[in-house]
Amino acid sequence: MNITRKVWLALFTCALSWLAANSVVFGKQIVKGQYTTSKYPYWQVGGASKKLSIACRNGKFKQNRYLYYSIGYIGKKGRGITGIAKKGWNLYDPQGLAKPEYTYHFFNQGYSNCKVYVAETPRR
């Protein structure tokens, strides 16, 4: 077995282990704690906030537990996953930027292109 095939096999094994450890499955449920799925693009979940997105990129506004609760976007356009947080629940907000009447959706948290979408929390 040549070295390239060994490396590929090792990477493939690591990827499968990661998928199993993070409860990723194929089909409707994408990640553990998934709230729902949507065929709409992820960016339609709420209004993008430049200020909160910059804070997210700097690690000053983020989910406490990454993708603890999420929405999977499975349509033809805008596929992805947004993590959900709100004030008092799963939100790291040392600067007090969050408002209690809103839910915050994080796309690519931990990356330099993190975007935070703000949606009004649905009433019960």
Pairing of strands 91-92, 80-86: unpaired
The pLDDT of residue 57 is above 60: yes
Distance of CA 8 to the CA centre of its chain: 27
Q: Are residues 52 and 3 in the same domain?
A: no
| pLDDT at residue 72 tops 70 | yes
**Is residue 5 domain-shared with residue 57, that is, in the same domain?**
no
Q: Based on the domain organization, do 114 and 85 belong to the same domain?
A: yes
Distance CA 107, CA 52 (A): 12
Any idea which residue has 């709420």 for tokens? 46
Q: Same domain, yes or no, for 49 and 90?
A: yes
Q: At 47, is the pLDDT very low, low, confident or very high (cuts 50, 70, 90)?
A: very high
Looking from the CA of 99 toward its CB, the CA atoms found within 13 Å total: 8
pLDDT tier at 121, thresholds 50, 70, 90: confident
For residue 47, give its domain range: 31-120
pLDDT at position 91:
96
- Summarised one tens digit per residue, pLDDT across range 9-46 is 555 554 444 444 444 444 444 455 676 788 888 999 99
Nearest to 109 by CA among 74, 80, 76, 87: 80
pTM, entire model:
0.71
User: In terms of domains, do 87 and 71 share one?
Assistant: yes
Residues 35 and 67 in one domain: yes
Residues 53 and 100 in one domain: yes
Single-letter code of the amino acid located at 113:
N
Q: Do 107 and 52 belong to one domain? A: yes
